Amino acid sequence: MFRLTHISDVHLSPLPHVRYRDLASKRITGYINWLRNRRKSMQGNTLERIIADMLEQAPDHIAVTGDMVNLALDLEIENAREWLKRLGEPENVSVVPGNHDAYVPGALAKACRKWESWMRGDGIDNTGRQLQFPYLRQRGPVALIGVSSARATAPFMASGDFLPPQAKRLAAMLNEARECGLFRVVMIHHPPVYGATSAHKRLFGIGRFQKLIRNCGAELILHGHTHLATRHDIDGPDGKVPVICVPSASQSYGGHKPPARYNIFDIAPQEGGGWSCLWQQRGIAEAAEHILDLGSERLY
């Protein structure tokens, strides 16, 4: 059995010192949002408790689906790198970026350089080159494929995109992994599902993504962005493909979004073909002091 855990929307806090010149951009709206909302609901020890409980479950691999930071300040990006080093070795943790990691022009490139070790495909040497998405990693019977939907946007926008160059590479990776008999997990920040979020936060290219999955298939799609615990399905060539989101790993109890959770997926090949995959959710419920088991569902 292979145990995969999933967290998202870490939004590391507290914010480092923000200079006035840092706010001469879209960051000013994000900073105001931080002061009014997220500073209250995403500080404290919630993230540390979630991570400690997750590591106690002895995962074989950890998937992080974006939004490591808040305003994509240089020091935030560096702090996120140090946090990733504490979370796990790069070969045991796979990351994709989110819209907050690309908050202003140039931020995504900086983040990719700092976090490259956790976003490097097997057998790929990115030295001196721009990081390319998607990337493919094989761990045991699982193919982890990281897609980037992150892009810098205008103020009050948090949209992402999935463009033809990524689609072409993703199709090739999904087909390759299927031929190798692997359980294919696609990681992306924005939900590739219509109606999953408001228009100004949506993914451009949902139709392109869903057409690709209809043709090539996948076993599981993980995303973040909405800070909700949701399960959708999209069509694949052999049936429905689960699309699963998890609340922010830093969200404390009492906010306007659900408190922090993480997902566990226990994956194993079946005799005679096919897969077994049990999805478990753990996190904060009500004002409980401890991380609780919040239910399970067999996906396959």
Give mean pLDDT, residues 244-254: 92
Give mean pLDDT, residues 125-131: 78
Give mean pLDDT, residues 34-42: 60
What is the gyration radius of the CA atoms in the chain, in angstroms?
18
CATH numbers and ranges of domains, the chain: 2-14+21-298 (3.60.21.10)
Q: What is the pLDDT of residues 219-240, one digit of tens each?
A: 999 999 999 999 999 999 999 9
DSSP 265: E
pLDDT value at 286 more than 80: no
Position with higher pLDDT, 156 vs 175: 175
Instruction: Give DSSP secondary structure letters for 196-261.
Output: SS-GGGPEETHHHHHHHHHHH--SEEEE-SS-S-EEEEEEETTEEEEEEE---TTPPTTSSSPPPE
pLDDT interval class at 43 (50, 70, 90) = low
- Say what the pLDDT of residue 72 is: 83
- Say what the pLDDT of residue 17 is: 66
pLDDT cut 90: percent of the chain above it: 76
Q: ω into residue 134 within 30 of 0, thus cis?
A: yes
pLDDT interval class at 156 (50, 70, 90) = confident
pLDDT interval class at 115 (50, 70, 90) = very high
Q: What is the pLDDT of residues 199-209, one digit of tens each?
A: 999 999 999 99
Dist. CA 241–CA 194, nearest whole Å:
15
pLDDT value at 254 more than 80: no
Helix (H) or strand (E) holding 111: helix 107-114
pLDDT value at 263 more than 70: yes
pLDDT value at 159 more than 70: yes
- Say what the pLDDT of residue 155 is: 84
Inter-residue contact 58 to 25 (CB < 8 Å)? no
Task: Of 245, 246, 170, give the one whose Cα is nearest residue 211.
Answer: 170
Cα-based distances in Å from 104 to 58, 153, 158, 202: 36, 7, 11, 18
Give mean pLDDT, residues 106-113: 94
- Say what the pLDDT of residue 24 is: 64
pLDDT interval class at 15 (50, 70, 90) = low
